[in-house]
């Protein structure tokens, strides 16, 4: 079968560009060991839908590192700081103790201090917080928790239960990353404030990779943007201050969004209060952006390898669990996905249609490396075993896993009819065939394919069309509730409040604002004024922004995914993420000058501030200026990270992504559900 080009043709849909074949056999000399220790070749068959996967594999991958790219700072220091502080806090409760850890702190804690480290500092037994009576027999209990009322109430119940039985122990609560007044107030109300000691573990930042740092606060999005709870803003400001203290001083800060502006002001207050010390800066510029500035991007299907792995297998705290369908055994295996995995590092940012070709070539290269053993004398064999064999085995193991993951993802997406799904998404982004898209969404809902997927398509339709027509809104809402249950009424209310799924108002257009402004002026009552302002604030303006920033490339142009020309490759050439485009434009213009119309459509709150100098060394100043720290408040996707890496390679920059949490369409929408914990 001849090789198929990974290229977009104008008369085809912009999607994975799957080609339907009755059978496509991809030959991977993926190495497996037989019982006698010999390496044999394995043929992999992928049947049914097969993507344009037989790309040219002789050349290098499209994404190569520029030689003049600046070096990234070493963020392992953040881990050491967090570990040392935790050990200090544990030692404040001398003697043997049991440690209760909140569930969503377990994975981050494992990246900072493993069980052995904890045992070395008098931690006897580890328990997961499960909101039920405890079975610990220790006389000292330590609780490592998030500052949540539910968890503090459970601790109060534990202490009061001990009191009722006449048992007296020492209790210590360590809040991470900080404690709130409401938690301490509850301790006082429950009558145990004097029985427990409280402290803070300032664990603000967890480095997930060389260029990704997470606050691991997935609740930030719902709390801040839906509930209006701004308690985490100070946390974001403190995280920024920590980075400024260790890797700064920053020279320029840009940002857009209400939350970003508050986080910047919190950071500035902490800088002014703290001690100013001259040091060599490692990070020059900072860009803060709210998630609700761009809600379209996280709702799009991810088609770069790392994003697709996250959508299907759920990457948690930089780690993914591959099941038996990937490992080809009866066991699951947890794998760290970062730049230390050489195979993953080369394919993580690639469009999925490129991945199989690369893995095939990698397998051939690995086979060649193994074949070098034939003809070796004893001395050469000894050198091979001591220097190369271990690395080859590790690479072989990782290669087998990623081949298995790719095959599993293809099979799952085939069942979902991924081609038709992407065709609908791209039509929505381009504004074509909207009626056909609505029919597809209706069919998706009525077939009860996936509640979250149906909700995602509804929100994408609303955002790209600046709201749904009243009759479409009522019809789609009724069908959704009939298919997935009436209990989602509150979910619709949440989506409307956030501006994800709204109904167009009579007379509303994409470009005319006068009717809304007139309503603001004429309505006298406070309630009407608030409603009108809220509706104005949640306006999408996606089409106007798309034209102004050229977010949707012209559909009559070919797009070669083997050699991407812009960030649109992360969505098969259909759409450049708004968040990344804003960052590109602001950095090019050194501010928001010339983007006034764009910021108006995004409801403002933009800022550009010169914070200080980066020192006298001209080269140091240049290098630090080329390292950009981008902070997403509300979460960012792996696709956006891939786009920023691409932009960095094109511009000779390095981007460091700091995010409140890694998100995707499923996580974002699940946080909107009524039963969200």
Minimum mean pLDDT range among 227-236, 259-268, 516-525: 516-525
The model's pLDDT over 63-72, given as tens digits with 9 standing for 90+, comes to 555 666 788 9
**Is residue 1 situated within a structural domain?**
no
CB environment 138-174: b (16+ within 10 A), e (fewer): bebbbbbbbbbeebbbbbbbbbeebeeeeeebbbbbb
Q: What is the pLDDT of residue 379?
A: 65
Residue 382 — pLDDT band, cuts 50, 70, 90?
low
Q: Is residue 533, in this structure, part of any structural domain at all? A: no
The answer to whether position 283 is within a domain reads yes
pLDDT of residue 538: 60
CA distances to 227, 287, 335, 541, 542 from 602, in Å? 20, 16, 39, 8, 10
Give yes or no: residues 183 and 95 share one domain: yes
Q: Which residue has the higher pLDDT, 653 or 534?
A: 653
Q: How far apart are CA 347 and CA 258, in angstroms?
A: 36
Give the model's confidence band at 385: pLDDT under 50 very low, under 70 low, under 90 confident, else very high: low
Query: pLDDT tens, 278-302?
Result: 778 899 899 999 999 999 999 999 9
Question: Can you give the CATH number for the domain in which 491 is found?
Answer: 1.25.40.850
Interval 120-173: pLDDT, tens = 999 999 999 999 999 889 999 999 999 999 999 999 999 999 999 999 899 999
Give the dihedral sign, CA 63/68/74/75. negative
Half-sphere exposure of 419 (CA within 13 A, CB side): 13
Give the per-residue pLDDT at 381: 67
Q: For residues 327 and 271, state if they share a domain.
A: no
Residue 36: pLDDT band with limits 50, 70, 90 = very low
Low-confidence winner among 209-223, 323-337, 547-561 (lowest mean pLDDT): 547-561
304 pLDDT band, cuts 50/70/90, is very high
Instruction: Indicate if 155 and 103 belong to the same structural domain.
Output: yes
107 and 211, same domain (yes or no): no
Q: Do 166 and 117 lie in a common domain?
A: yes
CATH of the domain at 357: 3.90.830.10
Q: Answer yes or no: do 215 and 230 share one domain.
A: yes
Percent of the chain scoring above 90 in pLDDT: 65
Return the H-helix or E-strand segment holding 142: strand 140-145
Residue 149: the pLDDT is 94
348-357, 370-379, 505-514: range with highest mean pLDDT: 348-357
What is the arithmetic mean of pLDDT over 350-360?
A: 89
**Dist CA 55 CA 491 (whole Å):** 43
Helix (H) or strand (E) holding 26: strand 19-33
Last residue of a domain, one of 184, 203, 222: 203
8 Å CB contact between 180 and 154 = no
Q: What's the rounded Cα separation, in Å, for the pair 330 and 323? A: 8
> According to the model, what pLDDT value does residue 460 have?
97
Q: Report the number of distinct structural domains present in the chain.
A: 4
Query: Model's pTM, two decimal places?
Result: 0.85
One domain, residues 421 and 404: no
Please give the pLDDT value at position 556: 67
| pLDDT score of 660 more than 90 | yes
Looking up residue 180, the CATH number of its domain turns out to be 3.40.50.2060
Which DSSP string corresponds to 57-91?
-SS--S----TTPPPPP-THHHHHHHHHHHHHHHH
| Residue 453 confidence (pLDDT) | 94
Name the pLDDT band for 267 (thresholds 50, 70, 90). Answer: very high
One domain for residues 408 and 317 = yes
In a domain, 561, yes or no: no
The answer to whether the beta carbons of residues 480 and 445 sit under 8 Å apart is: yes
Q: What is the mean pLDDT of the chain?
A: 83
Q: What is the DSSP letter of 4?
A: P
Which of 22-36, 299-313, 335-349, 555-569 has the least mean pLDDT? Answer: 22-36
Residue 289 located in a structural domain: yes
Confidence at residue 12, expressed as pLDDT on a 0 to 100 scale = 38
Pair (190, 80) in one structural domain: yes
Domain stop point among 414, 438, 471: 414
* Strands 252-256 and 285-290, sheet pairing: parallel
Residue closest to 370 by CA, chosen among 346, 395, 347, 400: 395
Residues 89 and 149 in one domain: yes
Instruction: Look at residue 430 in the predicted model and tell me its pLDDT.
Output: 92
Q: In the predicted model, is pLDDT for residue 3 greater than 80?
A: no
pLDDT tens string 401-434: 999 999 999 888 877 788 899 999 999 999 999 9
Do 124 and 101 belong to one domain?
yes
Range of the domain at 488: 417-498
- Same domain for 255 and 312, yes or no, is no
Tell whether 9 is covered by a domain: no
Query: Rounded to whole angstroms, how far apart are CA atoms 158 and 361?
Result: 58
The three-state secondary structure class of 511 is coil
CA dist., res. 586 & res. 592, Å (int): 6
Is 576 a member of any domain? yes
Q: Give domain status of residue 44, yes or no.
A: no
pLDDT of residue 247: 93
pLDDT of residue 58: 36
pLDDT at residue 124, rounded to an integer:
93
pLDDT over threshold 80, residue 493: yes
48: alpha, beta or left? (left if phi > 0; alpha if psi -120 to 50): left
Strands 170-175 and 196-200: parallel
Task: Give mean pLDDT, residues 353-374.
Answer: 79
The yes-or-no verdict on residue 31 having pLDDT over 60 is no
| CA atoms of 567 and 649, how far apart (whole Å) | 11
Higher pLDDT, 75 or 16: 75
What CATH number has the domain bearing residue 631? 3.40.50.1910
Q: Give residue-wise pLDDT tens across range 435-489.
A: 999 999 999 999 998 999 999 999 999 999 999 999 999 999 999 999 999 999 9
> Sign of dihedral through CA atoms 94, 95, 98, 104?
positive
- Select from 456, 476, 498 the last residue of a domain: 498
Place of tokens 């993507």: 51
């Amino acid at each position: 079968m001849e090789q198929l080009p990974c290229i977009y043709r104008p008369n085809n849909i912009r999607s994975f560009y799957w080609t339907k074949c009755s059978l496509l056999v991809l030959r991977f000399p993926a190495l497996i060991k037989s019982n006698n220790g010999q390496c044999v070749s394995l043929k992999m068959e992928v049947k049914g839908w097969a993507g344009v996967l037989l790309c040219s594999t002789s050349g290098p991958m499209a994404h190569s590192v520029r030689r003049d790219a600046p070096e990234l700072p070493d963020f392992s220091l953040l881990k050491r700081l967090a570990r040392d502080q935790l050990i200090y806090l544990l030692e404040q409760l001398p003697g043997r103790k049991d440690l209760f850890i909140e569930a969503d702190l377990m994975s981050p804690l494992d990246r900072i201090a493993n069980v052995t480290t904890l045992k070395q500092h008098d931690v006897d037994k580890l328990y997961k917080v499960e909101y039920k009576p405890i079975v610990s027999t220790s006389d000292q209990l330590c609780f490592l928790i998030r500052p949540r009322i539910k968890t503090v109430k459970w601790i109060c119940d534990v202490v009061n239960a001990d009191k009722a039985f006449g048992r007296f122990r020492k209790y210590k609560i360590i809040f991470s990353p900080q404690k709130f007044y409401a938690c301490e107030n509850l301790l006082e109300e429950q009558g145990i404030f004097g029985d427990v000691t409280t402290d803070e573990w300032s664990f603000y930042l967890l480095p997930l990779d060389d260029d990704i740092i997470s606050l691991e606060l997935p609740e930030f999005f719902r709390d801040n943007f839906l509930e209006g709870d701004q308690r985490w803003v100070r946390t974001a400001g403190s995280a920024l201050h920590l980075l400024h203290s260790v890797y700064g001083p920053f020279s320029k800060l840009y940002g857009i969004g209400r939350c970003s502006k508050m986080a910047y002001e919190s950071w500035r207050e902490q800088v002014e209060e703290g001690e100013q010390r001259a040091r060599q800066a490692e990070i020059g510029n900072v860009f803060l952006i709210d998630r609700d500035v761009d809600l379209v991007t996280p709702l799009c299907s991810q088609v770069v390898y790392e994003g697709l792995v996250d959508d299907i297998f759920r990457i948690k705290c930089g780690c993914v669990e591959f099941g038996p369908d990937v490992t080809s055994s009866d066991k699951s295996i947890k794998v760290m996905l970062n730049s230390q995995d050489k195979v993953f590092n080369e394919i993580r940012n690639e469009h999925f249609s490129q991945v199989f070709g690369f893995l095939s070539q990698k397998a051939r290269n690995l086979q060649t490396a193994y074949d070098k053993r034939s003809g070796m004398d004893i001395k050469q064999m000894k050198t091979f075993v001591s220097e190369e064999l271990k690395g080859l085995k590790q690479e072989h193991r990782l290669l087998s896993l990623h081949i298995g993951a790719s095959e599993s993802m293809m099979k799952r997406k085939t069942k979902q009819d991924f081609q038709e799904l992407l065709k609908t998404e791209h039509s929505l982004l381009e504004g074509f065939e909207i009626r056909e898209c609505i029919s597809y969404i209706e069919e998706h809902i009525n077939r009860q394919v996936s509640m979250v997927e149906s909700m995602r398509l509804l929100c994408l339709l609303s955002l790209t069309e600046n709201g749904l027509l009243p009759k479409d809104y009522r019809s789609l809402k009724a069908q959704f509730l009939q298919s997935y249950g009436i209990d989602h009424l509150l979910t619709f209310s949440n989506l409307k409040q956030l501006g994800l799924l709204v109904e167009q108002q009579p007379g509303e257009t994409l470009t005319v604002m006068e009717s809304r402004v007139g309503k603001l002026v004429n309505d006298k009552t406070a309630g009407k004024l608030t409603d009108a302002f809220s509706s104005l604030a949640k306006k999408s303006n996606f089409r106007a922004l798309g034209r102004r920033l050229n977010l949707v490339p012209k559909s009559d142009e070919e797009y070669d995914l083997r050699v991407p020309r812009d960030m649109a490759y992360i969505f098969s050439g259909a759409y450049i993420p708004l968040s990344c485009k804003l960052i590109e434009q602001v950095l090019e213009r050194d501010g928001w000058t010339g983007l006034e119309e764009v910021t108006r459509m995004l409801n403002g709150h933009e800022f550009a501030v010169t914070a200080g100098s980066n020192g006298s060394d001209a080269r140091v100043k240049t290098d630090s200026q080329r390292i950009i720290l981008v902070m997403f408040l509300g979460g960012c996707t792996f696709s956006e990270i891939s786009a920023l890496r691409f932009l960095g390679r094109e511009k000779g920059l390095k981007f460091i992504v700091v995010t409140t949490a890694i998100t995707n369409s499923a996580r974002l929408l699940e946080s909107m559900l009524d039963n969200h914990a």
